[in-house]
Structure formats: structure tokens, C-alpha cells
């Protein structure tokens, strides 16, 4: 606790009620019906509304000029915290004191209107973010230059490409000059070149200009680079408040949601068809042969399946799919290819299959593994979805420390030859 913090959060909590009278969207009729029912409520045995604490007993101080990262999984309470600090929603309990003008960037392009021109949007979005007209006037040239849209300044934004739109929006937002800045992962926008530029700008904003910044991000590399200190949120509480390196390490090792190993050898719930095959374990092994749910994109890793064959069987295909966070299947892979179905006999016994996933295949992100066993084109024996989850981090990224767009991130060979001297 310090004497002159820029931000002091004490015992902050935010409760949402699900399914109760505070239902998110309700009609007047419901309210009338509810109030008519109220006298009888005690008699009826309707389910009590469920309470959900998005934040609970969160306290911390931020010194003036400090840049603090806030990390945690989806639903950990990061956005709720930022929304309370930026006064978009009110807390259920606890207090916040902010000393200084507060600006919040919770998305890129707040208040942009497609019918208005670039110039008009700069003024509109700027004033919505809290800038004075005089302030915008004086920064107009800088904003326009940064966004690289000089030629289209007086064109309606609806004619812009999405890249131009985002660049302009970021340019406006990044020129917000308040003592306290709350930022929710608005960084990774635009093409690679602009991303680098915007990260550089964020670095300036955060450090050189000496203001207090809270920065919510999933991008560990960016947090590590921009924020000396970080808070790790989990289930609505702060579980670590330390140097970013320490916090990111803990976050990476936290296996609460990520799972790198399942042992079914006790045979309860083991994936099986009950006749031919029973899977006893599945694990993700890193380069050092240690089961780990955090994989570095630059290193290969292995998916290892152990199973028992119960009776002689032919063409029993055991494999997995790797899926994105949104449950889109990236690919399937199994212990043999469908093209040679003739020689895949297995006799009873214990088996271990290892599949090597090459380096530089995945991009940064969270992925899940589903297990599948089948007689190809004949019958699916079992399909266990999302048995393991892992996270891919990048050690060194190609462009600054930002996430490249895309689900996969292969490193491809390019050959460039000069054909002629003339242009």
C-alpha cells in the first residue's frame, strides 16, 4: 500500500444474477407478471436465481506512471474489472479510487460511423473517447499521418478497406492523452507492418509518456514487453501480483483448464468400444519428454496414446483431431493412412503410439484435442471430444512481439530471383 497511488482498488466485487428477476433482457410483461406473482413467491418452489461473481474481493494499488498487465483466461474477470474501472458498469461491492483523468480503450473504433468521413470520424470518435475539440485539432495531422489515410480523409468511412478503418481507429485511440489509461487488447490490429507500428506506439504511450496504464491482454509477449508488473486473475480473484515474468510463468503452468495428460488405467470412463480396444492414457509431451500443456510454437511436440487391444483386429484406426478454440477441426491424424487398409492387423496386447507434431505449425493460441477411434468408412467406435487442451506460445515472433494473424503459422521457403534490371 502506498500513500499516493494513481489507482486504488479495494475489495471490489461484481455479481451477476442469472435466471432470477435480474434476467438480462426482460419485457414489461414479465415485470408485471413477476410483481403479480411476488406475494405468492414464497409459496411457489421456483428455483432461486443463480448468483455468479465475476469479480470477488479484488484489491490492488497502482502507482502513478506504472504499467500493469492484467492476464487470465477468458471469464477470469479481466474485462469486468476494466469495465468497472472505466465506469461502464458499477461494482456490487468495494470501491475504486482513481487519481487523474481516466481514458479507456476497450475496442478499436468506438463511435465510428460508416456514413461519416475519416475527418469527421476522427472528431467524433475522439470526443467520445474524451478528447476536447481543441486537443483533436492540434493532433489532427499526427493522427492522419499515423493512420496513413491522408488521401481518403474526406471519403466516407464505409468506402474504406477494413485495414484503413482499423488504422484510423487505432490512430485516434492512441492519441488519447489521459493520466490513466485502461486498455483492453486493442493492439493486434491491421496488417503486419501496422501492428509493429501500433505496438511501438503503445510502448511510447505506456512508458515514455509516463502515464499509468492497465493493460489487459492474452498476448504474453506484449505484456512481457510493455508491463514490468502483472496481475493474474482467476475465477474473479487475483491469484498473483508480481513481476510480469513471474506471473506469466505461473499462468503458463496453471493447469486448471489446460490439460496435458489423462490416465485411464484405472479403467473408469476410459474411452473404449467395450470389445476391441481400450485407451489407457493420452498425453502431450514437449521436447524434453515432459507432459506439458504449454507448447512453444518453435519446438516440436508429441501426442502419445497408450491403449490395449483386446482381441485380434484389422483396420482399427486410432487417432485424434486438433481443434481451435472455437472448435473448428484443424486436422485429423491417425495411426495409419486410409490408403493402405490391407495390412493393419493388431494382436491383443498393450500398445503405445506417438505422433510428432512438427515445429512452426501452430500459431499462438489455445487448442484442444479430441480422440477418435473408427473402422474407416464403416463405423465409429468412439469419439471423445476435447480430452486435452493446450496452449501455444511463441518465443520469438517474427514481427515485434505480436501475434501474427492466422490459425497456423508455417515458416515457408521463398525463392526470389531477379529477372531483369529494368522496372
Q: In the complex, which residues of this chain contact other proteins (CB under 8 A)?
A: 6, 16, 22, 24-29, 31, 63-67, 83-102, 104, 106-107, 110-111, 113, 115-116, 120, 123-124, 127-130, 132-133, 179, 207, 210-211, 228
Nearest approach in angstroms of CB 141 to other proteins is 20
Distance from C-alpha of 77 to C-alpha of 83, rounded to nearest angstrom: 10
End-to-end CA gap in the chain = 65
CB 71 within 8 A of CB 243: no
Distance CA 6, CA 322 (A): 45
CB of 51 to other proteins, least distance (A): 13
Nearer to other proteins, 101 or 267 (CB): 101
Q: 10 Å Cβ neighbour count for 354?
A: 12
What CA–CA distance (Å, rounded) separates 74 from 54? 11
Are residues 291 and 285 in contact, defined by beta-carbon separation less than 8 angstroms?
yes
Q: CA 337, CA 318: separation in Å to the nearest integer? A: 11
CB of 284 to other proteins, least distance (A): 36
For other proteins, give the closer residue by CB, 117 or 364. Answer: 117
Give min distance, CB of 15 to other proteins, in A.
10
Q: What are phi and psi of 110, to 5 degrees?
A: -60, 125
CA distances from 204 to 160, 174, 198, 213, 410 (A): 27, 10, 10, 12, 31
Is there a contact between 229 and 242 (Cβ–Cβ < 8 Å)? yes
Of the two residues 115 and 154, which places its CB atom closer to other proteins in the complex? 115
Report, in Å, the least distance between residue 330 CB and other proteins. Answer: 32
Residue 423: CB atoms within 10 Å: 3
Task: Kindly state the DSSP code that residue 47 receives in the 8-state scheme.
Answer: P
Least separation in angstroms between residue 316's CB and other proteins is 52
Q: How many CA atoms lie within 13 A of 48 on its CB side?
A: 4
Backbone φ/ψ region at 188: left (φ over 0), alpha (ψ -120 to 50), beta: beta
Q: How far is the CB of 43 from other proteins (least distance, A)?
A: 26
Q: Which is nearer to other proteins, 158 or 314 (CB)?
A: 158
To the nearest whole angstrom, how small is the minimum distance from the Cβ of residue 96 to other proteins?
A: 4
**Closest Cα to residue 93, out of 58, 127, 125, 121?**
58
Nearer to other proteins, 227 or 402 (CB): 227
| Pick from 183, 273, 167: nearest CA to 222 | 183
Count other C-beta atoms under 10 Å from residue 239's C-beta: 16
- Closest contact distance (angstroms) between CB of 293 and other proteins is 31
Amino acid at each position: 500500500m502506498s500513500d499516493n497511488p494513481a489507482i486504488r482498488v479495494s475489495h471490489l466485487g461484481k455479481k451477476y444474477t442469472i435466471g432470477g428477476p435480474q434476467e438480462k433482457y426482460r419485457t414489461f410483461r414479465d415485470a408485471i407478471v413477476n410483481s403479480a406473482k411476488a406475494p405468492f413467491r414464497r409459496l411457489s418452489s421456483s428455483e432461486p436465481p443463480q448468483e455468479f461473481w465475476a469479480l470477488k474481493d479484488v484489491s490492488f494499488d497502482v502507482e502513478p506512471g506504472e504499467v500493469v498487465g492484467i492476464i487470465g483466461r477468458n471469464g477470469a474477470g479481466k474485462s469486468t474489472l476494466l469495465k468497472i474501472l472505466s465506469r461502464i458498469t458499477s461494482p456490487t461491492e468495494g470501491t475504486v479510487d482513481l487519481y487523474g483523468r481516466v481514458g479507456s480503450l476497450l475496442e478499436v473504433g468506438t463511435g465510428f460511423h460508416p456514413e461519416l468521413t475519416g475527418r469527421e470520424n476522427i472528431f467524433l470518435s475522439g470526443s467520445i473517447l474524451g478528447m476536447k475539440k481543441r486537443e483533436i485539432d492540434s493532433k489532427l495531422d499526427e493522427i492522419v499521418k499515423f493512420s496513413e489515410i491522408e488521401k481518403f480523409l474526406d471519403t466516407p468511412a464505409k468506402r474504406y478497406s477494413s485495414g484503413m478503418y482499423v488504422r484510423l481507429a487505432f490512430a485516434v485511440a492512441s492519441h488519447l492523452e489521459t493520466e490513466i489509461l485502461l486498455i483492453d487488447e486493442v493492439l493486434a490490429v491491421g496488417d503486419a507492418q501496422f501492428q509493429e507500428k501500433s505496438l511501438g506506439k503503445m510502448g511510447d504511450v505506456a512508458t515514455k509518456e509516463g502515464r499509468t496504464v492497465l493493460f489487459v491482454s492474452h498476448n504474453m509477449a506484449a505484456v512481457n514487453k510493455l508491463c514490468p508488473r502483472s496481475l493474474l486473475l482467476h475465477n474473479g480473484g487475483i491469484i498473483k501480483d508480481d513481476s510480469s515474468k513471474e506471473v506469466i510463468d505461473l499462468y503458463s503452468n496453471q493447469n486448471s483448464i489446460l490439460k496435458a495428460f489423462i490416465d485411464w488405467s484405472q479403467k473408469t470412463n476410459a474411452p473404449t468400444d467395450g470389445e476391441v480396444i481400450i485407451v489407457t492414457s493420452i498425453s502431450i509431451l514437449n521436447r524434453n519428454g515432459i507432459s506439458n500443456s504449454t507448447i512453444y510454437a518453435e519446438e516440436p511436440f508429441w501426442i502419445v496414446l497408450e491403449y490395449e487391444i483386446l482381441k485380434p483386429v484389422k483396420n482399427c484406426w486410432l487417432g485424434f483431431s486438433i481443434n481451435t478454440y472455437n472448435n473448428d477441426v484443424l486436422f485429423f491424424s491417425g495411426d495409419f493412412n486410409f490408403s493402405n487398409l490391407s495390412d493393419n492387423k493388431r494382436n491383443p496386447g498393450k500398445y503405445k503410439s506417438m505422433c510428432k507434431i512438427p515445429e512452426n505449425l501452430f500459431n499462438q493460441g489455445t487448442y484442444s484435442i479430441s480422440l477418435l477411434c473408427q473402422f474407416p468408412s464403416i463405423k465409429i467406435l468412439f469419439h471423445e471430444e476435447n480430452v486435452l487442451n493446450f496452449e501455444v506460445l511463441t518465443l520469438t515472433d517474427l514481427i515485434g512481439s505480436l501475434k501474427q494473424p492466422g490459425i497456423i503459422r508455417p515458416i515457408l521457403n521463398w525463392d526470389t530471383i531477379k529477372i531483369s534490371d529494368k522496372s
